[in-house]
């Protein structure tokens, strides 16, 4: 039963991921990525990490992807989508990807050390609870947690500064505008 669920989720996730890369319209890509991220959240539930699944949906689907969709719709990039792939030969990139994929699949299938770590898939004894997770996060990993919050604050300020118009050019635009409007 679990395996059937996993196969269903994995198939949808891979299809959505292919759609992200192949879609012509950036909005379609973003929506396919939302679908893929929801599948991955469901996989976290299968892995016994329901809290992480909720975080994934809140942060990725709720915040990050909505930000992406806002930017896509605000910038009106539909005319940019005529040429999907880079100009020039695509062969070097494809070779790099093929080597990467071959390496990873070979490692996963044939590495004895990895299989020694993973074992034959023993049944899980007891599911760790959210309380255990929070204790570990707020005791052992308290400093990284605070650093992450500082990083988020810095990113917030940086995004505002970057996306704001320049003081000088904004003033120029404001000076130009009323004259044009009066005519």
Rule CB under 8 A: which of 130-159 touch another protein? 132-133, 136-137, 141, 144, 148, 151-152, 154-156, 158-159
Long-range contacts of 10-18 (CB under 8 A, 24+ apart): 10/39, 10/43, 12/36, 12/39, 13/39, 13/40, 13/43
Q: Does 94 bind another protein (CB under 8 A)?
A: yes
Of 164 and 179, the one with the shorter C-beta distance to another protein is 164
DSSP 8-state class, residue 25: S
Which one of 143, 162, 168, 182 is in contact with another protein (CB under 8 A)? 162
Tokens of 112: 């004895």
HSE-up of residue 75 (Cα within 13 Å, Cβ side): 14
Binding mask 17-36 for another protein (x = CB under 8 A): xx-xx----x--xx--x--x
Of 71 and 174, the one with the shorter C-beta distance to another protein is 71
- Segment 26-85, which members bind another protein (CB under 8 A)? 26, 29-30, 33, 36-37, 40, 43-44, 46-49, 51-52, 55-56, 59-60, 63-64, 67-68, 71-72, 74-75, 77, 80-81, 83-85
CB-CB neighbours of 172 under 10 Å: 11
Alpha-carbon distance 34 to 95, whole Å? 29
Of 110 and 175, the one with the shorter C-beta distance to another protein is 110
Which one of 105, 142, 170, 173 is in contact with another protein (CB under 8 A)? 105
Alpha-carbon distance 123 to 142, whole Å? 31
């Amino acid at each position: 039963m679990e395996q059937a669920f996993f196969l269903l989720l994995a198939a949808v996730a891979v299809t959505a991921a292919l759609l992200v890369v192949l879609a012509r319209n950036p909005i379609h890509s973003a929506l396919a990525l939302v679908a893929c991220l929801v599948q991955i959240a469901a996989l976290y539930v299968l892995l016994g990490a329901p809290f992480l699944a909720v975080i994934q949906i809140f942060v990725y689907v709720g915040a990050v992807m909505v930000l992406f969709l806002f930017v896509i719709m605000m910038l009106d990039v539909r005319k940019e989508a005529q040429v999907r792939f880079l100009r020039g030969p695509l062969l070097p990139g494809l070779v790099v990807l093929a080597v990467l994929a071959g390496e990873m699949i070979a490692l996963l299938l044939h590495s004895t050390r990895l299989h020694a770590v993973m074992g034959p898939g023993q049944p899980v004894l007891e599911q760790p609870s959210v309380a255990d997770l929070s204790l570990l996060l707020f005791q052992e990993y308290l400093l990284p947690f605070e650093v992450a919050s500082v990083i988020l604050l810095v990113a917030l300020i940086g995004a505002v500064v970057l996306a704001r118009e320049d003081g000088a050019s904004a003033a120029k635009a404001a000076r130009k505008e009323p004259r044009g409007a009066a005519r």
